[in-house]
Amino acid sequence: MRLEALRYLLLAGPKRWRAEVTGALRGTPLWTPLRTVYHRCRPLWRNPVVRARVLAMRRRLYCADPRSYWQQEGGRQYTQDEEFLLGPGSLTEQQGRFLATAIAALGATTILEVGCGYGRMLKELRRHLDARLVGCDFSEPQLKTAREYLAPVTMPLILADATQGLPFADSAFEVVYTQGSLMHVPPPLDRSYRSELARIASRYIIHTEDVQDSDSMFAHDNERHYKELGHRLVEARPYPLNLAGQTMKFEIFELRNDRGR
């Protein structure tokens, strides 16, 4: 338990402290010296050797136990971090509309989100689609926050790890989608994650996932694996609603469930 907390502190602590200290000191007399410190540190962080070493260390820490990271990276603090994404006219609304339009075009009425987090996308889909929606995630704090975020609407939210097997029957959902979840699964576990999605989806799998590597992100070749499983890529394009610096890709796979099982 202590080791998990220490690992999380090393991974998430610096980012949070920096944001907190910056927020607290901006506009005060201490802001100028702090900015000078940030400025002086910048070349160090830009140094490719330093950067590569720090990233490799952080990546190892994350890979040692991704679930414990997400057990702690949930809850109120996490939704507060994401507040800039939410609300009327927000990016979340646009992303929800985009996904709902894609799913409606596929004519699906039973939909599962794997790695649903606090239910950001499920809430948007609920507004646009007359469909049976289910979410699952391996982080209890994320699901607890999802229940609050989705209220008064209720929907099944299941605690499960997609790399270990999901508690759903074969072909249980017409569409299974992920957004910003598979990219956090280190290899080789991404293969079990995708295979499990292919088992429980009957018609389509949709991924909106980043394709860059960082400490907690992993670029995966989804197309290659699904092809091995006998499934077909029917749409792939850069995600049109990326945040600045994000490189998410939007992919739809059509399942051929008579093959590849």
Q: Under the criterion CB under 6 A, does residue 79 sit at the interface with ligand SAM?
A: no
Contact predicate 182/115, CB 8 Å: yes
Binding residue for ligand SAM, selected from 7, 120, 123, 220, defined by CB under 6 A: 120
User: Helix or strand or coil: residue 251?
Assistant: strand
Q: Under the criterion CB under 6 A, does residue 116 sit at the interface with ligand SAM?
A: yes
Residue closer to ligand SAM by CB (options 29, 89) is 89
Question: Per CB under 6 A, which region of 14-22, 116-124, 148-156, 238-246 contacts ligand SAM?
Answer: 116-124
Q: Under the criterion CB under 6 A, does residue 222 sit at the interface with ligand SAM?
A: no
Q: Under the criterion CB under 6 A, does residue 123 sit at the interface with ligand SAM?
A: no
- Token readout for 212 is 């860059």
Q: Under the criterion CB under 6 A, does residue 168 sit at the interface with ligand SAM?
A: no
Distance CA 18, CA 21 (A): 5
* Interface positions, 192-211, toward ligand SAM (CB under 6 A): 193
Distance CA 111, CA 173 (A): 6
Helix, strand, coil fractions of the chain, as percent rounded to 5: 50, 15, 30
Q: Using N-to-C axis directions, what is the helix angle for 48-64 and 31-46, rounded to 10°? A: 90
Q: Under the criterion CB under 6 A, does residue 142 sit at the interface with ligand SAM?
A: yes
- C-alpha torsion 124→127→128→134, nearest 10: 70
Q: Under the criterion CB under 6 A, does residue 75 sit at the interface with ligand SAM?
A: no
Q: Under the criterion CB under 6 A, does residue 125 sit at the interface with ligand SAM?
A: no
Least distance from ligand SAM to the Cβ atom of residue 143, Å:
8
Contact predicate 25/34, CB 8 Å: yes
The DSSP code for 108 is: -
């088992």: which residue's tokens? 199
Q: Under the criterion CB under 6 A, does residue 129 sit at the interface with ligand SAM?
A: no
Residue closer to ligand SAM by CB (options 65, 223) is 65
- Token readout for 83 is 């507040």
Contact predicate 162/136, CB 8 Å: yes
Residue closer to ligand SAM by CB (options 82, 228) is 82
Q: Under the criterion CB under 6 A, does residue 161 sit at the interface with ligand SAM?
A: yes
Binding residue for ligand SAM, selected from 8, 62, 70, 168, defined by CB under 6 A: 70
Q: What residues line the site for ligand SAM (CB under 6 A)?
A: 66, 70, 114-117, 120-121, 137-139, 142, 161-163, 179-181, 184-185, 193
